[in-house]
Structure 1
Amino acid sequence: MARTLLITGASSGIGAATARAAAKAGWNVALLARSQDKLSDLAGELGDCALALPCDVTDRDAVAKAVADTVARFGGLDAVFANAGKGVEHPGVENGRPDEWHDMIHLNVMAVLYTAHAALPHLRKAKGQFIVTGSKAGRDHMKGSIYSATKWFIHGFAGNLAEEMREWGGRCTVISPGMVNTEFFDEEKPTKLQPKDVADAVVFALEQPDTSCVREIHLMPND
């Protein structure tokens, strides 16, 4: 029976690339994002192994329903890739915009917590895995960056969750890329990491034997 992976932020970039890579590796994929059209197109491309679930992952009830719908469709949940995230247009603290911080923190932090909270009972049954997108920005101090601070939270949370999941045979991995050529940036970054590079790292973590937990994968562009 194929294993099932739920992906947030699945409509483009790293999330969509991971859906393609996981489907190619034989996984069922539940695709969560706000963009119904993009999700439907991706699910149509991937076929019966994919389930499109338009969802605002900052809405706790919507996340819980998406997890329940995934389990109902595929019979269980083996892994989660909490990938949804965003930055801000106005960096720094003194000149930053608190309303932007609010929205970013709810997506980068609270949505990850909501996803973990909803998924863990099912992951426990499967002795499954929770993977989350961190960042080089979550390893370095960056002048006035609230975005970086949210990723520092993610790196700390992932390590703490790994210890909790370890008690029942589960695993948690943080994927920590440097600059990736995604819609996060206004201009193409062809010499930087590509979404598929990160997707391949996710699949690598998923395919480890039960005796091994890759706690962190840190990728940097080779330019």
Structure 2
Amino acid sequence: MTRKTLFITGASTGIGAATARAAVEHGWNVGLFARSEDKLATLCDELGAHALALPGDATSLEDQETAMARLAEHFGDVDAAFANAGTGLSAAGTRQGDPEEWEAMIRLNVMGVLWTAKAASAYFVKNRGHLLLTGSAAGRTHIKGSVYSASKWFVHGYAGNLAEEFREWGARVTVIAPGMVDTPFFEEAKPDKLKPEDVARSVIFALGADPRANVREVFVMPVN
């Protein structure tokens, strides 16, 4: 069976790296997109011939378009994309929040997602592809003063709107909405929370749905 190809942003660590491992195990090629060239190279060495390192900045449409073009040239197409790159804030709330941090977060959590969708749409309009986005439990509830939560509300709303647009081409859209995950996103370890591998399995589940079915949201929470 011919391997399909998945483009992943934020692929060097955490959910992105775990998804890359799971995807290769389940028969996919992967394009690993992130700013950290060293970490991408290490992960590519681990995954072998079915992975391609694509250093770049998710806040740049040009970088994402160039990376997807390289991936398509290398493996033949871009069949799915996972807009996973994201960041949080060091100061919570509006009064205490840092406007420069807000701008940096919006560039990644909002504009970076838009750029992945825009770049991938050029392939999906032809191949009935699949776009996945990392949302959050924080994007399904109101959290006192949280600008981060609001950025994830955007992801959830945009994913639904994209699903309506992409279905015109037979393409699919899924938002993956985890609760707290034990990743480098947090300064302190969260050993009793979800692991990146739990989220990666959710991605594989959505990708593996019958082509007639679009799993529009996977909402996964830690038991504790």
Normalising by structure 2, we get a TM-score of: 0.98
| Alpha-carbon distance in 2 for matches of 1:78, 1:126 | 7
For 1:20, the aligned partner's letter is R
Once the two structures are TM-superposed, the CA of residue 115 in structure 1 deviates from its matched residue by: 1.0
**1:183 maps to what in 2?**
184
For 1:12, the aligned partner's letter is T
**1:76 maps to what in 2?**
77
Alignment of 1:23-62 (within 5 A): 23-62=24-63
Superposition CA RMSD, Å: 0.6
| Alpha-carbon distance in 2 for matches of 1:188, 1:62 | 32
SS of match in other structure, 1:87: coil
**2:105 maps to what in 1?**
104
How many residue pairs were aligned? Answer: 223
**1:8 maps to what in 2?**
9
1:137-188 superposed Cα distances (whole Å, 9 cap, x missing partner):
0000000000000000000000000001111111000000000000111111
Once the two structures are TM-superposed, the CA of residue 63 in structure 1 deviates from its matched residue by: 1.0
Task: Please list every run of 5 or more consecutive structure 2 residues that lacks an aligned counterpart in the other structure.
Answer: none
1:110-151 superposed Cα distances (whole Å, 9 cap, x missing partner):
011011111111022210100000000000000000000000
Task: Please list every run of 5 or more consecutive structure 1 residues that lacks an aligned counterpart in the other structure.
Answer: none
Once the two structures are TM-superposed, the CA of residue 189 in structure 1 deviates from its matched residue by: 1.1
- Tell me if 1:158 matches 2:159: yes
| Alpha-carbon distance in 2 for matches of 1:56, 1:109 | 14
SS of match in other structure, 1:157: helix
Once the two structures are TM-superposed, the CA of residue 60 in structure 1 deviates from its matched residue by: 1.4
Normalising by structure 1, we get a TM-score of: 0.99
Aligned identity (percent) is: 57
**1:134 maps to what in 2?**
135
SS of match in other structure, 1:10: coil
Runs ≥4 in structure 1, deviation > 6 angstroms? none
- Tell me if 1:202 matches 2:203: yes
